[in-house]
Amino acid sequence: MGQITFRRFAAADAPAVVQLVAKTMRISNRVDYSETYIENALTRLDESHYLELDQRSHFYVVCDQNKLIGTGAIGPFWDIPDEYSFFAIFVDPAFQGQGIGTRIVNTLEADPFFAQAQRIEIPASITGRPFYEKFGYQIKHHQAEPDAEGLYRLEKFHTPDQ
C-alpha cells in the first residue's frame, strides 16, 4: 500500500468508480448474492448513477497513488430533516482488511452532514452488515432477513453538533 489519500469525488472519477463497484460486488458479495442479483444491480450502478449521487451527497473517493480503491458518500435520507444516509461504501477487494473501510466510515462520520444528523441510516448488504455493526449501527425495526432489495436497514442515532 502506497500513499493513501481521501478526496471529494470528481466527475472524471465516474468510470473508475463503476469499475471498482463492479469488481467489489463480483468478488466480495458473491458469497451472499447470486450472479443474477449482482449483475442486475450493476446495470443500475452506471456512471450517471454516481454523477447524480455526487449532486445530492458528499461523495468521497480513496486513492492509493493514482488508483481509486474506495468510495463512500453521506447524503440526505429522502427529504427528512436531520436524517442522513451512507451510500456507495466500497473498498477494492485487494485492499480490504487494511483499515480503508474504517477510514471511510470515520471520514463520513466527520462530515458536516453527519454533524447535523439525528439519525443515520445505512442500506447494508448481507456481506457488509457485520462491518457496520462494529461502528454501533443497529438493525432497524428488528429486521430478521434482508428486505426485497436484498439489504439490511441499519441505523444509528446521533446528537447533532450545536
Residue 130 domain flag:
yes
CATH no. for residue 129? 3.40.630.30
Given a contact cutoff of 8 angstroms between Cβ atoms, the answer to whether 49 and 55 are in contact is no
Our count of domains for the chain comes to 1
Residues in the chain: 162
Residue 133 domain flag:
yes
The range of the structural domain enclosing residue 70 comes to 4-157
**C-alpha to C-alpha distance for 142 and 7, rounded to whole angstroms:** 35
Q: Does the structure show a pLDDT above 80 at 162?
A: no
Q: Average pLDDT, stretch 70-85?
A: 95
Residue 152 domain flag:
yes
Q: Does the structure show a pLDDT above 70 at 27?
A: yes
Residue 57 domain flag:
yes
Average pLDDT across the chain, whole number: 96
Residue 123 domain flag:
yes
Q: Average pLDDT, stretch 49-66?
A: 97
Residue 64 domain flag:
yes
Of the pLDDT bands very low, low, confident and very high (cuts 50, 70, 90), residue 127 is very high
Residue 162 domain flag:
no
Residue 61 domain flag:
yes
